[in-house]
Structures are given as structure tokens and as C-alpha cells.
A and B are shown apart, each in its own frame.
Chain A
Amino acid sequence: SAVISQKPSRDICQRGTSLTIQCQVDSQVTMMFWYRQQPGQSLTLIATANQGSEATYESGFVIDKFPISRPNLTFSTLTVSNMSPEDSSIYLCSVDSLTSGRYSDEQFFGPGTRLTVL
């Protein structure tokens, strides 16, 4: 299993500012995923972060709004830029229990970052 930590756990931000969320994993992983979960809704994948390459963004999400860094195999950051109240959500970092390039049967989640934009 993988243990994932996220910072900050929660924040309240002003409109127009940016927040960077950090995700740390206790083991090396190839792929890290960033999700958003708005109140009462399910998970929406924002992007997949691969070490050594550009992140792959899902439809409706762009790099200018959600820049991602992946400097090594245990760490990633997601920045929510030029925030608006619509960005208020829980942001979750996740990894697959991926070994030797194969997907296995579980995805692990960090504790989440609860963001409120005023």
C-alpha cells in the first residue's frame, strides 16, 4: 500500500489569488493523479502527472489554470490559479498501486485539501 500526505489540509483564499497543493508519497510511483470533488459530487479527474513529462489534462481543465509539477517519483504539486468561488472544492492526490508498468487493482488517495474561495 501507499501512504500519501497532502499540504495544506484546508485553506480559505481570496478571489484572484493562487494556491499550491503539495502531495508526498512514501514510495516511488510512476503516475500521480489529481482529482477534484465538489460538495455532494463524485470525483473528477483533473490531470495525470508523470515524472519527466508534461501532465496530461482532462477535458475542461487547462494547464494555465491548474499547473502541475512532478519533480521526482514521490512528489507532485497542483496549483489552482486565479481562483474564483467556483474553485471551492476538495482536491485529492491519488496514486495507483502500479508496479512494473502494470495497473493493479487499487488506487490510493491522499487525505485531500479542502479549499474555500471567498
Chain B
Amino acid sequence: GQNIDQPTEMTATEGAIVQINCTYQTSGFNGLFWYQQHAGEAPTFLSYNVLDGLEEKGRFSSFLSRSKGYSYLLLKELQMKDSASYLCAVRDSNYQLIWGAGTKLIIKP
């Protein structure tokens, strides 16, 4: 079956750095996505990786290793507004998006 694993919840301190991991097992691979979802709101797009390596976008970076079925989202200089759920999703060989359960990130002052 297809499976995406990410931690259920993480806690970090304002101003610090946090890394959210995602491992996947899917039938084929056509890209990996990270989305941010604040409570009661729709998910919003953060990043997309289709090749191995690091993609940097401001305070957020996303890394992919296709051979290991692994990705991480790195958030730097954490702000209180970064408190949200972070969803990892993979496009499989049928171009269908497979979603992880999300990681709830709690930022403490």
C-alpha cells in the first residue's frame, strides 16, 4: 500500500530552527509537496521537490532524497505565526496526491 509518515506533533521555541521529517512509500513518484494549514483554514502551498536536494525559499527549506523515500521541511527563525499543521504529500505514478496525516507544530515563546 501507499504510505506517508510524519510525526504527529512537534514543539519548538520562537526564534529557533525546527526540522519536520516525512518518509514515503508510494507507487511511483512525481514530486513531493509541503503544505501549511492553520487551524480552521485551508492548506496553503509551501514547497515542491521533484529532484534530490535542497530547495530554499526564505525562512523555509525543503529537502528530498528519492532513493531513501525521505524529505524534510526546515523552518528557521521561528515565529509564533508558524504554529500550524504541516502536511507532506506525494504525487504517485497516476499523478494522484497521497497525503500524510500532518505534523502539528507548536511554537512557544
- Contact surface of A with B, Cβ cutoff 8 Å: 41-45, 92, 103, 105-112, 114
CB within 8 Å of A: which of B44-102? 44-45, 48, 50, 87, 89, 91, 95-97, 99-102
- Contact surface of B with A, Cβ cutoff 8 Å: 30-31, 33, 40-45, 48, 50, 87, 89, 91, 95-97, 99-102
Q: Is the CB of B99 within 8 A of A103?
A: no
**For B31, what are the chain A residues with a Cβ–Cβ distance below 8 Å?**
105
One of B42, B48, B97 near A45 (C-beta < 8 A): B97
Q: Is the CB of B87 within 8 A of A43?
A: yes
Q: Is the CB of B96 within 8 A of A45?
A: yes
Q: Is the CB of B97 within 8 A of A42?
A: no
Q: Report the nearest B residue to A102, measured CB to CB.
A: B95
Q: Is the CB of A107 within 8 A of B99?
A: no
Q: Is the CB of A103 within 8 A of B95?
A: yes
**For B91, what are the chain A residues with a Cβ–Cβ distance below 8 Å?**
103
Alpha-carbon separation in the docked complex, A92 to B44 (Å): 12
**For A108, what are the chain B residues with a Cβ–Cβ distance below 8 Å?**
45
Q: Is the CB of B97 within 8 A of A111?
A: no
Least CB distance from A56 to B in Å reads 10
Q: Report the nearest A residue to B44, measured CB to CB.
A: A109
One of B41, B87, B96 near A111 (C-beta < 8 A): B41
